[in-house]
Each structure stands twice: as structure tokens, then as C-alpha cells.
A and B are shown apart, each in its own frame.
Chain A
């Protein structure tokens, strides 16, 4: 028979795990060791690397971990709060605020807003 203590412990673990997932995102699918993201991705996802390299992010040194985090806090698809760190004006003028930035500005060769369209 399962004790109440064990049930409570299991529930607590589940709640904490859910909390951790909600905040820490999904763990990076591979162990990263001491490698930088690009070292692996240049071969693992060459198309993504090429798109990034030719984008404004690539030119200005906004590398993988700026948006996607490190191994422990890896985020596969960054939310708008990440984009807002640099693009708050664009977010303020977003005509579809319920949508994620990346749903229109396809990663990793992002298109750009035109400042004169803003209020």
C-alpha cells in the first residue's frame, strides 16, 4: 500500500517539475560539454547556421545563446519577452500582439520592421 507521505512527495515532485519546466524551458536535447553552440550547429543544422550568419543577428554578434540560453536554461523557441530586450518598440507597434514574433519574422533570417510605420 502506498503511504500518504509517498503520494504527497510524488505530487510535490510533479508540481516542482512542472514549475521547473515552465520556467527553465526544455533541456537542450544533447549534452553540450564545453562546446559553444555554433561549434556543433554549423554541422548539425547547417541551414539554420547559414540563415543566422547572413541575418542582422549574425552580422551584429547576436549569437545562439543570447536568445536560446545555455544548456540548463535552454529555450527552443524564445518568447516575445526575449525579443523585447532589444525590440520593445517593435513589440509596442505589433499589429498582432497575441502572436509570437517568430510566427511572422521567421527565424533565423528575420525580416525587419519599418520604423516609419510606427505611431
Chain B
């Protein structure tokens, strides 16, 4: 049965009204909720905040959602996406049948048996004909942990292929590189709970007000109650995050490393550093040698605020003030997201922010932390922690690590040597090497993607589309997308509330979502799909969770995952399914046993259970000196120290020049999520943000004779887009901005973005491109709320 979009809207109104006077879990609230059969605990589907929700179900349909007041992340509040966008699960465009592309180019609906047999046979053939690395998986920080774990196991343990990647490579890889190279272990030291204790916030490379609105709400409320709390925002654009800021540090995109060094210089020159903390807990290093504080000062000597102002356009006085507040407020908390990560020197940018915390001792006390806000709801839990990237294994340990590889092989019950000790290709290299059987230069012949839309979301798209089109591409998704337009097989996936599973958010917190309703049509959970493919390839023993009881499958996968990783610094051994069902706010790792409450601060004796974890110490050869209150136990040198990095200044991959005189940076708006495949289908959201646009400073607009709404071509060395002009002083002259969500071909900004990668993290530099602009025409109404409804529409 299909319903029109207008009817969908009316139906969603009716269901919302039916859920009126909704029911909370507390008994008093339940009494009110005659129109909702039950409220089921879960997590929000969207950003990395990890908001706890209750999903209202009536007559076996999801009819309402509300924030979970007991959740430690959101305290019951939801943003526009969390509040409205779940309704997309009943949109008439949902994919509900498996489909195979026919010879005439159109898709034909087939049975699951036929689709799965077709995929498995093709994978078997390509695997045999072209070798183990001819098949690849490209997953998502929005897939459930059980799903990422299962696909990772199938490919690395079953096919022997490390060609396993996911879109967290495009968003968080530099944060991972920063945490591991500075502290020895991925993910933050502290928690969101530090927000309410912080005396100073350093928000850099993050528009938290739009990208993490619920955390921004916490910061705003904290500032409102405590006006003395200082808020520093360091961003190329003066976004709505700056509404609560005490000072804005404008910078040209990709130049902020100089600002971070200048702040360190000011802190050291003024003796605002914490020498005791530095001496006891850190080493100052360039990766080869160690240095004294005096030598560090010498390294920084050229980063005077005035010189840095010349490099960055950030006023010297602002840098001085920021350094003072950061060092002297009492407890400083840094927060960042893609502005630091999606950069050619993203790892270094992360290192330099960590440096500020290490030299001032702003780390272990309440309110002090160097905290990377994750973009996606399960990039941390699902991909980073399960090691679902080409160089990792579960527990975020490298495939190169002989001990850990042997451990995983033993746990998985596979022959020693099955897992390749050589990492596969990182995301950009993987897509660059993806192609058809006739193309001898492309060794990867097949890809299975899930819960992501690379045909819209990769940077420099022109380079990668043909490979996706030529290869054998299997796409798991809930809607037609730009990627399904290039697919050979589409497998209809279940929505989070139709399958359940665990999400792990930015603050090391894992939360279970229970299955609420049956999937639409013949859609199926990824875990079931992966297990059925495994079964057809003779790998049923490896992935035995293939029943029709979806939550049982999830529990089997999760239980195995927490067993495999029980002795790691990321242990979730105490977070059993039974416990996660009971816990109203989930659990933060390390959580080594069922009686452990979870961990607020890592590396602090008395707070972090790893100090007493004998299994961990034995497995990884760690000794914890009893006289150390703080100990970075994953330090590679086994000295329990973090690294203060002497990183040279490096700018972005390309800077404006005569031919491409502008900086272009891209980002999000509060209403939309990623490529808009879900959110653009929600009428209230689509109205608020119906199309992409080009933000341009009035001085630049005047120079190019551009008026508000004029259609402007923005072009880089790689591609172009045509967008309506939005004239605003939000950024300095010379800096342009385009939101990234629009999927209309003319406005897909990723054709323009740069795919140069960070040499360490391999994360591409979405945030900085050199571009030129040209007025194309006067204003046009492009508020078309563009979505792809017909699976047979072509990629054009």
C-alpha cells in the first residue's frame, strides 16, 4: 500500500495527536497515556550526543517520542531532529522489498532468498576469482554496534579481508588519531558531566548550537546560571554558538594550529602552566626526542600573537585573552567536532588542543577535559570500539598487533593466520580502487554499503562515482539515495526502532534501544542480512545469530563482542544486555563487571577500574605504580605519560590564489541530518531548510555584483555547484560557506570539496577548499525540498 506525501503528513499528525497527553514511564504519567500502549526505552537516531528517548507505541506502530528525563546525556530534552525525524520510518518512500538491477537498468523486486543467493554467489565468485581483498564493506557510525561487529567479523574473520571501512573515517578518524597519539587510547578522559563544572569552555571547530544542540543547551544553561563562566569560540564563522560566547576568535579555515600554538606560548611565557603536572604526567616530544619546557618555549618562539594574526586573521588581543581565560579560570573544557577533524592536519590540530590541557593540568579535575564531540550516534560505540575500520580489530586494537590478532582469532574460533596482518585500504583509497571486472587497475570489485550514502557524501565525488557504478555494489538502506542509484542490489533495511541494538555516544556511554515494532514491509535488520549472507557462504558457524528473533540475534552478537574485549581498556564486560535493559541511562566504559557503575573519568586512581583490572594488566603487560594518582596506562612507552606534541605549523591542503581566490568551508544546519535522506522527508524540517545556499560576505558580494538570492556558481579544481547567494557577515570576507545536506545534483557541494587526506588519520579535508565564484543568474526559487523517491531515477 502506498500513500501520498500529503497523506503521510496528515497521518503523522493524526498519530501524534493520538499520542497526545503522552505517557511517561513513571506510573503517574502512565495513567495519563490512554492513547499510547507502551513507552519503550531507546536512544535517539541522530547525532553523537546520545540522547535517551522513550518511543511511544500504539497498535504496533510508533506514534510518539519523548526525551528520557533520567538520561545523563539530555535530561529529557530533544532537538528538532530527535523530536520530529523518527516519523520518516512511515514515509511512503521506504524501501520494503529487495531489488536487483536488471539488464535494462531498472530495478525489479525479488524475494529475500533470491536477493541473498544472488549477493552471496557474486561475492563468492569475485572472492575466488580476484582474491580475498576484492570484496569490501563500507559501514556507518549510524549502524548499531551489533551490526558493525557482525560485518567486521564476517569480512575479517570470514573472508580474510581487511577491506572494511566506515564513514567515521570521514568524520572522527583525526580525533581517534589525536587521542591515541596523545593519551595512548581512543576516546575522551572525562564526560558530559564536566560541562556543569567547567569554568571556561574552549569551543573550536564546532558549531555546537546546530550540530549538538542538546549539549549546547547544557552549556547555555550553565552559563546562564553562572555568568562568570567564560566561553571562547574559535571558528571561521560567527555561528549561533557564538551567541553565548564571551569572545570569538575568527580564523581562516585550516589555520587554527597557529592559534593553539600561540595560546600555548602565552601560557608558558606568563608562567600560567602547571609545571608539576607536566613533569609528573607528560613528556614533551616530537616523536623522536623528548624536550624540556624551556625547549618547548624555544619551539614556540615564532608563534607570537601578532605573527599568528598575520597567518590566521585572528586578532592578537583575542588570542591573549583566550589564553588567559583558558589557563586561569580554574577548570577548562575544550569541545570540537569536524572543524578540527576534517582537515589535512586534523590529528595535529587535535594534539595541539590536548597540549593546552596538558600544560595547564586541565584534565582530571571536575570541569576540565579535552573532549571531542562525535558527529554520529554510534561512531564511537559501533565503529571505533568494535574496530570496524581497515586497520583495527575489536577493542580499537590494530590488526598489526600479533598478540591481539591471535586473541581475536581464538575468540572467534578461526584458524590462526586467518586475519590478515596487513591493514586494508582507508576509505578514500578504497573508493579509488573500486571498479568493474574489466578494469585491471581497480582491485576491489565488490562493495556492500550500509546506512550511509557515499555517492553524495564523499568529497571530490567526480573521482569516485564511476567506480561505484562499475563495481558490484550492494546497498542496505531505508530510502532511495544517490548511492542506490549506482547499486546493483538494494536490500531494504529496518529502522532503529524496528530492530533495536546498542549505540555508544561521545562520552563512552552505551545505551540499548529495544525493538519497538516490526519492520515496514519486508525490510530486515542488518544483523540478519549479514548472517544470511554468511550462511550462504558456508560461514554459519562464524555468524550463528541468523534467527528471525532480531533481539536475540543482537544479544548474541553483543555478548560475544563484550567477551572478546573484556580485558581491554574499553571493556564493557559489565554491560550485559540484561543490565542495559534495566539501566535508564546506559553505561560508560570502562565497565569491567556487572556490579561496576561505569566510569566518569579515566586514568584517575579510584575512579578508573583499569587500575585494579588484573586481566587487563596481564593481557597487555601493564604495571600501575601505586604512587601515581594519575596514570595514562595505554602509553606505548609504559611510563604512564601523555605526549605534549611539538607539531610544526601546517596550513590546509590548498589555499586561495589568483584563480581560486576564496576559502570554502561546509557544515551542517540544525534541522538536517547528513545527506537529508531522512530529515528532508519531514515537512517541518524541509520547510526550515529546503535547499543548500552559499553564504557570502557583503564586501565579496558587492565586488562580484551578487545580490541576495542570485544564483552563483562555486567552483574548485575538482567540480562545481550552483547555489543561491545568502549575503551575511557571519564570516570574514573571503570565506564562503555551504551547508552539506542538499542532494539536488546542481547543489551537491561535495563535488567541490577536497579529498586530500590527513597523512595520519586518512581523514579527508572537507572543511577547506580554494574556490572561485561566478554569478550565473538572478534569483530562482530552489526551495524544492529535493528528495529521491523513485529507485529507477538515474544519478544525474
Is A29 at the interface (CB under 8 A from chain B)?
no
- Contacting residue for A63 out of B65, B80, B221, CB 8 A: B80
Give A31 Cβ to nearest chain B Cβ, in Å. 13
A48 at the A/B interface (Cβ < 8 Å)? no
Cβ contact within 8 Å between B79 and A61: yes
Contact B217 A23 (CB under 8 A): no
Q: List 10 A-B contacts (CB under 8 A).
A: A24-B14, A25-B13, A34-B690, A34-B781, A34-B784, A37-B687, A56-B221, A66-B84, A73-B683, A86-B83
User: Which residue of the partner chain B has the closest CB to A73?
Assistant: B13
Is the C-beta of A109 less than 8 angstroms from some C-beta in chain B?
no
Whether B67 pairs with A86 at a CB distance below 8 angstroms is yes
Interface residues in B1-36 (C-beta closer than 8 Å to A): 6, 9-10, 12-14, 16-22, 24, 26, 28-29
Pick the most buried of B16, B67, B217, B687: most chain A CB atoms within 10 A of its CB: B687
Q: A61-B79, A70-B683 are in contact. Are A89 and B688 (CB under 8 A)?
A: no
Cβ of B670 under 8 Å from chain A: yes
A58 to chain B: closest residue by CB = B243
A61 contact from B28, B65, B76, B213, Cβ within 8 A: B213
Of the candidates A34, A66, A92, the one whose C-beta lies within 8 Å of that of B28 is: A92
Contact A79 B210 (CB under 8 A): no
- Identify B77's interface contact among A22, A25, A86, CB under 8 A: A86
Contact A92–B29 (Cβ < 8 Å): yes
Which of A20, A37, A61 has the most B CB atoms < 10 Å from its CB? A61
- Residues of B contacting A79 with CB < 8 Å? 20-21
Given A24-B14, A69-B13, A72-B10, A87 and B76 contact (CB-CB distance below 8 Å): yes
Q: Does A77 sit at the interface, judged by CB under 8 A? A: no
B residues in contact with A80, CB < 8 Å: 21
Shortest B52–chain A CB gap in Å is 11
User: Are A61 and B80 within 8 A (Cβ)?
Assistant: yes
Chain A residues, CB < 8 A from B65: 85
- Nearest A residue (CB) for B14: A23
The reply on B240 being an interface residue by CB < 8 A is yes
Please tell me which one of the listed residues A59, A69, A85 contacts residue B66 in the complex, with CB atoms under 8 A apart.
Answer: A85
Q: Is B78 an interface residue (CB 8 A)?
A: yes
Judging by beta carbons under 8 Å apart, are B209 and A60 in contact? yes
Give bound CA distance, A61 to B208, whole Å: 11
List, in ascending order, chain B residues with CB within 8 A of A99's CB: none
Over the window 584-618 of chain B, the binary record of Cβ atoms lying under 8 Å from chain A Cβ atoms (1 yes, 0 no) is: 00000000000000000000000000000000000
Q: Does B220 contact A (CB under 8 A)?
A: yes
B residues 57-90 near A (Cβ < 8 Å) are 64-67, 69, 75-80, 83-84
The residue of chain A having its C-beta at the shortest distance from the C-beta of B783 within the complex is A34
Chain B residues whose C-beta falls within 8 Å of the C-beta of A59 in the assembled complex: 209, 217, 220, 243-244
Q: Is the CB of B220 within 8 A of A88?
A: no
Residue interface bits B189-213, CB-to-A below 8 A is 1, else 0: 0000000000000000000011001
Q: Once the chains are docked, how many angstroms separate the CA of A116 from the CA of B67? A: 19
| Interface residue? A62 (CB, 8 A) | yes
Taking A24-B17, A85-B65 as known contacts, 5 extra A-B pairs with beta carbons closer than 8 A to each other, sorted by chain A number, are: A60-B209, A60-B214, A66-B83, A84-B66, A92-B24
A71 and B688 alpha carbons, distance in the complex (Å) = 12
A86–B220 contact, CB under 8 A? no
State the Cβ distance, B225 to closest chain A Cβ, in Å: 11
CA distance A32 to B688 in the complex (A): 12
* A81 lies within 8 A of chain B by Cβ: yes
Within the assembled complex, what's the spacing in Å between the Cα atoms of A62 and B65? 16
Q: Give every chain A residue within 8 A of B77 (Cβ-Cβ).
A: 86
* Shortest beta-carbon distance from B785 to chain A in Å: 8
Indicate if B684 sits at the interface (CB-CB under 8 A).
Answer: yes
Return the 3 tightest CB-CB contacts between A and B, nearest first: A34-B783, A65-B684, A81-B20
Q: Check A85/B67 contact, CB under 8 A, given A80-B21, A92-B24.
A: yes
- Cα of A90 to Cα of B719 in the assembled complex, Å: 51
Count of B residues near A, CB < 8 Å?
53
Closest to A81 in B: B20
Contacts of A91 in B (CB 8 A): 24, 29
Max chain B C-beta neighbours (<10 A), residue from A23, A85, A91 = A85
Q: Which of A56, A70, A86 contacts B78 (CB under 8 A)?
A: A86
User: Does B216 lie at the interface of the complex (its beta carbon under 8 Å from any beta carbon of A)?
Assistant: yes
Q: Which residues of A contact B80 (CB under 8 A)?
A: 61-63, 65-66
| Residue on A nearest B243 in the bound complex, by CB | A59
Rounded to whole angstroms, the CA-CA distance of A70 and B785 in the bound complex is 14
Q: Kindly name the residue among B13, B16, B19, B683 whose own CB sees the greatest number of chain A CB atoms within 10 A.
A: B13
List residues of A (64-119) whose CB comes within 8 Å of B's CBs.
65-66, 69-73, 79-81, 84-89, 91-92
Considering the complex, give the chain A residue whose CB is closest to the CB of B26.
A92
CB distance from B114 to the nearest CB of A (A): 40
The CA of A36 and the CA of B687, in the complex, are separated in Å by 6
Q: List, in ascending order, chain A residues with CB within 8 A of B687's CB.
A: 32, 34, 36-37, 65, 70-71
Known: A34-B690, A59-B243, A70-B683. A86 touches B21 (CB 8 A): no
Q: How far is the CB of A106 from chain B (nearest CB, A)?
A: 19
A37-49 vs B, Cβ < 8 Å mask (1 yes, 0 no): 1000000000000
Of all chain B residues, the one with the shortest Cβ separation from A69 is B684
CA distance A111 to B784 in the complex (A): 37
Most chain A C-beta atoms within 10 Å of own C-beta, residue among B9, B19, B54: B9
A86 to B152, CA, bound (A): 36
Contacts of B781 in A (CB 8 A): 34
Instruction: Assess whether B13 is in contact with A81, with CB atoms less than 8 Å apart.
Output: no
Residue in chain B with minimal CB distance to A65: B684
Our pick among B19, B243, B688, B784 for the contact of A81 (Cβ within 8 Å) is B19
Cα separation A71 to B13 with both chains bound (whole Å): 12
In the complex, what's the smallest C-beta–C-beta distance from B213 to chain A, in angstroms? 5
If the complex has contacts A89-B76, A92-B26, are A72 and B9 also in contact, measured as CB distance less than 8 A? yes
Residues of A within 8 A of B10 (CB): 20, 23-24, 72-73
Looking at the assembled complex, report how far the CB atom of B432 sits from the nearest CB atom of chain A, in whole angstroms. 38
User: In the complex, which residue of chain B has the Cβ closest to the Cβ of A68?
Assistant: B684
Shortest CB–CB separation between residue B679 and chain A, in angstroms? 12
A61 B13 Cβ-Cβ under 8 A: no
**Chain B 151-183 interface 0/1 with A at a Cβ cutoff of 8 Å (1 = within):** 000000000000000000000000000000000
The reply to whether B688 and A72 form a contact with Cβ atoms under 8 Å apart is no
Q: Given the complex, which residues of A lie within 8 Å of B24, measured CB to CB?
A: 84, 88-89, 91-92
Assess whether A72 is in contact with B683, with CB atoms less than 8 Å apart. Answer: yes
Check A56/B83 contact, CB under 8 A, given A61-B240, A86-B66: no
Contacts of B17 in A (CB 8 A): 22-24, 81
> Which chain B residues lie closer than 8 Å to A88 at the CB level?
22, 24, 29, 54, 66-67, 69, 76
Bound CA span A112–B685, Å: 26
Contact B67 A60 (CB under 8 A): no
Closest to B11 in A: A23
Contacts of B18 in A (CB 8 A): 23
- Minimum CB distance partner of A118 in chain B: B69
Which residues does chain B contribute within 8 Å of A22, judged by CB atoms? 17
B29 x A56 contact (CB < 8 A):
no
A38 to chain B, nearest CB (A): 8
Closest to B682 in A: A70
Shortest CB distance A70–B (Å): 4
